[in-house]
């Protein structure tokens, strides 16, 4: 019996394939697979997004994703772990990220999948920029500017 967890990590400009993820996660001998897909949403309140652009510190992002996958495999008994992130332009309705885990039982698959996406969002050096229908753009997350410093020190 193989006690290790097989994993797949990729960052790519090409569209992501759910089929590839399911195919990968279904091998081994899982009883349950949980899969999370991030999709470019059109409407945020009254703002209409046309597309997202993802920037990344590519080499470090891959390193961080591998850390996260290793932590997941240490934290839960998993069969397989899958993480794929798209960068560059992602139009509305298309998938920007797929994370997933397979396990003998569903608890572990859900917990790992949730951990993967939460930690990816907070730790992995990838950033999205919204391009809105009115032509404006905005990097996410919106950051508070440290005003006092900006006012008191000229460039």
Partner 1 sequence: MTECRVLLFSLLAEAVGKRELVAAVELPCSAGALVDSLAKDSSPIRAYRHVIRVAVNREYVPETHVIRSGDEVAIITPTSGG
Residues that bind its own copies (CB under 8 A): 18-19, 22, 26, 29-39, 41-43, 93, 95, 102, 104, 106, 109-110, 113-114, 117
Whole-angstrom distance, CA of residue 84 vs CA of residue 38: 11
- Find all residues with CB under 8 Å of 152, minimum gap 6, and list them: none
Nearest to its own copies of 77, 93 (CB atom): 93
Count of residues interacting with partner 1 (CB under 8 A): 34
DSSP-assigned letter for residue 46: T
Q: Which does 81 bind (CB under 5 to 8 A by kind): its own copies, partner 1, none?
A: none
Q: Which of the listed partners (its own copies, partner 1, none) does 39 bind, with a CB threshold of 5 to 8 Å by partner kind?
A: its own copies
Using alpha carbons, select from 42, 35, 44, 43 the residue that is nearest to residue 16. Answer: 35
Q: At closest approach, how far in Å is the CB of 134 from its own copies?
A: 18
Residue 20 CB: number of other CB atoms within 10 A? 14
């Amino acid at each position: 019996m193989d006690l290790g967890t097989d994993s797949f990590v990729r960052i790519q400009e090409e569209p992501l394939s759910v089929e590839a993820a399911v195919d990968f996660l279904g091998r081994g001998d899982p009883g349950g697979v949980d899969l999370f897909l991030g999709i470019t949403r059109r409407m945020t309140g009254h703002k209409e997004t046309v597309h997202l652009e993802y920037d990344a510190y590519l080499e470090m992002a891959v390193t961080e994703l591998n850390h996260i996958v290793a932590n997941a495999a240490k934290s839960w008994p998993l069969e397989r772990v899958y993480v794929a992130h798209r960068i560059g332009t992602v139009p509305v309705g298309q998938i920007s990220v797929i994370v997933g885990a397979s396990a003998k039982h569903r608890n572990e698959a859900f917990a790992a999948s949730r951990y993967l996406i939460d930690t990816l969002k907070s730790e992995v050096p990838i950033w999205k920029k919204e391009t809105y229908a009115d032509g404006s753009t905005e990097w996410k997350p919106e950051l508070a500017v440290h005003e006092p410093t900006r006012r008191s020190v000229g460039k």
